[in-house]
Structures are given as structure tokens and as C-alpha cells.
A = this chain, B = another copy of it.
Amino acid sequence: MNSELYKINNVRLSDDGSCVTIIDQTKLPGRTEYLTLKTPEDFFEAIYELKVRGAPAIGICAAFGVFCLARTIDASDYESFIEKFDEYRRYLDSSRPTAVNLSWALNRMRSVAERGRDKPVTEILTLLEAECREIQAEDASMCRAISEYGFSLMKEGDGILTHCNAGPLATSSYGTALGPLLLARERGLNFRVFADETRPLLQGARLTAYELARAGIDVTLICDNMASLVMKNGWIQACFVGCDRVAANGDAANKIGTSGVAILAAHYGIPFYVLGPTSTIDMNCGTGDDIEIELRAPDEIKVKFYEQPMAPEEVKCYNPAFDVTDNSLITGIVTERGICRAPYEKSLGELFGK
């Protein structure tokens, strides 16, 4: 991935709108395999199995998906069209519960379909295609703006710690948490990055280390439990993480382990920033307690990726995919419209004109 490549969208709708092509992220970094998604099951499984992942990329893929599926609906009137459309939409929406971007993107598509209720189905399809392509274009421009705001928080010689993957693969183009780092590299800033490997699915090792190393950034991979020592060593000046859903009070759900990083950062007096587009902020969600945390299969911990079972067969596992970082631990929430700071009810509310 050179400095141009990471600007390219990794979730692509075909020109004829019949299918979506993604990089299978579960195969990285060993193999770069492309997958073509066409059926409802293709889209559902790609999202559920994390072949496409990262809150913004999931939203884009679902929007493209519901459009591809809408094209296959055999209906001449709005009522029968929207009935089938909603069936597809709800099915895709059920693939993962935590990232708000999934529902957000599907709801945008639903609103467009509804606005076209007096038009012929072919025209609704034209509106839907424009909308999903717009969602992706907007994401790219939001990522770019987030990257600029994030870059303003960096200085020469910094060490940045990141958790999971919120880079180009998780979004369109630059990414959110990794965007400032890619910009900083382009601009010749001298800095280094520590990437948490992010168990159980190792998005940090497989994706973040891959993206940053390919971009020529000085990146060091660590196990999640090494973050405390790295901070204690004085090597970290800021933490940058993405987010899957931010509540109205600033509580932020992100990949499991993020809240632990935030607590460590607070302990060592290191600023902790959450980066994400405003589409990730859910003003209908009062606090982090209202965010549903996805629980995934124990085998992700016990056997996935391993040559041999890494725990006794009979052992129970608890495998939450996300946790919520309390707003009191967050130094700033970096969006495409600027950097919000505490009190978040006020600063986030202002973003939405409240």
C-alpha cells in the first residue's frame, strides 16, 4: 500500500450496480483476496464474519448491499417493493448490533426509498444508487476532515498508541484513528506508532500493522497487555482510537479493550482521543449503558487462527466484541466537524444543532 493506494475505496459497488467487491479482511495480511457479494446471505455473512469490518465500512457495504438487493426486487408498485426492501434491510441490519453506522446507513437508504414512493420503481432505484454512492463519498470526505483535526493534535517526536483498526480498511480512504498518522507521514512528521494486536481477532496485528507498515510508518506491534508498560516507559504521547457508537453523553463503544487503554492512559496522564464521523454519534442513545454489546463465539478465543487448541475444550469463554469507554476518560472526540471536549452533552449536542 503506497501513499496513493490507501486513498482508494476498498468496498466497491460495480458500475452496473449488480454486486459489491470487497477485500476479505479475514485473510490479511497473508493473502489479498477479493470477494464479490450479490445475495442477501453474501452481504450478511461478509459483515457477520468480519470479512468487511470497521463501523464506517460496514455502513457503506450495507448501503451498497441493500441497493444491489433492491435491484433484484420484482415489483411494479411501491407497496410490494418497499415490503421486500424492508425485509432485506432488516436482515442486513441484524448482522451486527453494536456499530450504529449499519442502521444509520440502512435508514438513510430507507428514507430515500420512502421519499420516492410516488415514483416508478426504476426511478427509486436511481435515487438509491445515488444515495449509497453518496454515503461512501461523504465518508471519504469525513475521514479526510477527521484526519486533519487529528493531525492538529500531533507533534514532532510523538509516540501514538492505537487499538484495533480504524484505518483505510475500516472506512473509505484514510480512515479515522489512522487517518492523522497517514497524513502525518505524507507531511514528513517524525513520529512512531504502537499498535495493540487486539485479541481475539487480531485486527491490530493483521490490519493496522499492515496498513501502517505499507505506508512507511514506524510501527511496533505489541500484545494488548503490554500497553501499560509501553506507557510507563514514556513512549506514548497520545492514544487514537476509533468508535462504533458514541452516546449523547460521550460514552464511546469501540473494540473490546478500548476502555482498558483509556483507563491506563488516564493513570499515566496521557491524552486519549476517540475519532469518528458524526454518523457514529447516536443522539438517541443517552449513555453507554444503552449500547448493546455484541457477544461472539467462544471459538474465536479458543481455537481461531491456531494450529492447536489453545485452551481446554471444556473451558467457558466470555467473548464480548466491544466495550464502552466512560466519557470521563476521553480527552476529546474528533469528528469531521471539529474536536468535541467535555462536557460532551453540550459539545456533541451543538454538532447536531441542539
A residues within 8 Å of B by Cβ? 29-30, 163, 194, 196-200, 202, 205-206, 209-210, 213-214, 218-230, 232, 256-257, 259-260, 263-264, 266-267, 293, 298, 301-302, 305-312, 314-320, 323
Contacts and interface: CB of A to CB of B under 8 A. Distances in A.
B221 A199 contact: no
B205 A310 contact: yes
13 contacts: A197-B311, A199-B224, A205-B301, A206-B310, A214-B312, A219-B315, A220-B318, A221-B298, A223-B257, A225-B256, A229-B320, A230-B318, A305-B307
A6 B124 CA distance: 69
A216 to B, nearest CB: 11
Nearest to A288: B232
A209 B311 contact: yes
Contacts of A305: 306-308, 310
A258 to B, nearest CB: 8
Nearest to A308: B30
A225 B205 contact: no
Given A200-B223, A221-B301, A314-B213, A263 B206 contact: no
Contacts of A257: 223-226, 228
